Structure 1
């Protein structure tokens, strides 16, 4: 199974990046698909003009035709062939110029699958706290757990940027665009079971279930 999910425990140690407004070409899985490479797998893309990034491209969808081809995805962080963190800076570079849509696929431990679709997704630059911008929800059975996180900055254990008086990332054992604190916690603690109801430290999407998920997969696609 191939998709790109936005999960992370810690921000990467990089120099502070400023918001950019230049017009250079951005390369993603959509460009690879349009070039004729229609087989899903690991590819190299260039969110910036000179820095290669390995990603797992999901070229064919089991859903509608318009969902097929060129999804850029990660699952968690680590190995690009499995749990993989794309990186906030790479997400910013990918989405800062062109329009992207977001699909969130969820599966519980009983094998039930649902999704949520957002027609617009982007991430701000580092000096803006990698702020989330998401809108245009379409329900695929999952409900909308992400819109309450819209316009929030990304918080981690060591960089608290949420509006809560305390640190949501520490309290819910994850890193995310927390509000005060979350309806979705895709980078929470993986519990290997549904565990107890309303396990807010787990991998949850509360508009579908109050249990920890088997998987939450988030993938973006360039809208031409």
Structure 2
């Protein structure tokens, strides 16, 4: 049985995210940074170390004002050798308002993002991070599943298996919670 603790491990949240705030180097995403007042990206290396210590749930809140979210159990960030790719046990449709944006999807034209290395403008095998202006896990088709696109101040995520929705993401949250 999984029980939630109050241990929020990382969050990107609170306050307006402006174009350029998330267009950081790979080294910055690896070690952590504060993109806006009150917001923190813990760092890929820290997420890797933490997710090795227990079971974690990733909750992506697409707009903190509406509370619309997607939830993933057993979320794990892999190490540097794997490019800080991630895996997850399963998508929690029962706790989510949107669909599984990390899964392979005909709607988005994307393959599964699980196992795809993290990309930034200076470490960008497909040119996607440079195109969108933000670090993220991109496949060879550049998604278009992402939490934030600075040029449009919107994100893209499937809200069903048949529909891709654009939503305002000036204030969003990625939250990793430890479960035991």
Same fold (TM over 0.5): yes
Written as runs of structure 1 = structure 2, the 5 A alignment for 1:117-156 is 117-139=71-93, 140-147=96-103, 148-156=112-120
**Offset, 1:154:** 0.5
| Secondary structure at the counterpart of residue 103 of structure 1 | strand
Q: Aligned partners of 2:168 and 2:178: how far apart in 1?
A: 30
Larger Rg: 1
SS in structure 2 at match of 1:205: strand
* Residues 52-83 of structure 1, C-alpha deviations (whole Å, 9 max, x = no match): x9xxxxxxxxxxxxxxxxxxxxxx94168612
- Preserved CA contact (<8 Å) 1:98 1:222: yes
Distance 2:174 2:29 in 1: 24
Q: Which residue of 2 aligns with 1:115?
A: 69
Counterpart-to-counterpart distance in 1, 2:120 and 2:29: 15
Q: Compare relative contact order (CA 8 Å, sep 6+) and give the higher one, 1 or 2.
A: 2
- Aligned in 2, Cα 1:8/1:150: closer, same or farther, shift over 3 Å? farther
Match of 1:176 in 2: 136
- Where does 1:35-184 land on structure 2 (aligned, <5 Å)? 77-78=33-34, 82-107=38-63, 111-139=65-93, 140-147=96-103, 148-161=112-125, 166-179=126-139, 180-184=141-145
* Structure 1 unaligned residues grouped into runs of 5+: 16-52, 54-75, 192-198
How big is the alpha-carbon RMSD for the aligned residues of Structure 1 and Structure 2?
A: 3.1
The two structures have a TM-score, normalised by structure 2, of 0.68
Task: For 1:107 and 1:12, locate their aligned partners in 2 and report how far apart those are by CA, in whole Å.
Answer: 27
Structure 2: unaligned runs, 5 residues or longer: 1-7, 14-21, 104-111, 160-164
Number of equivalences: 148
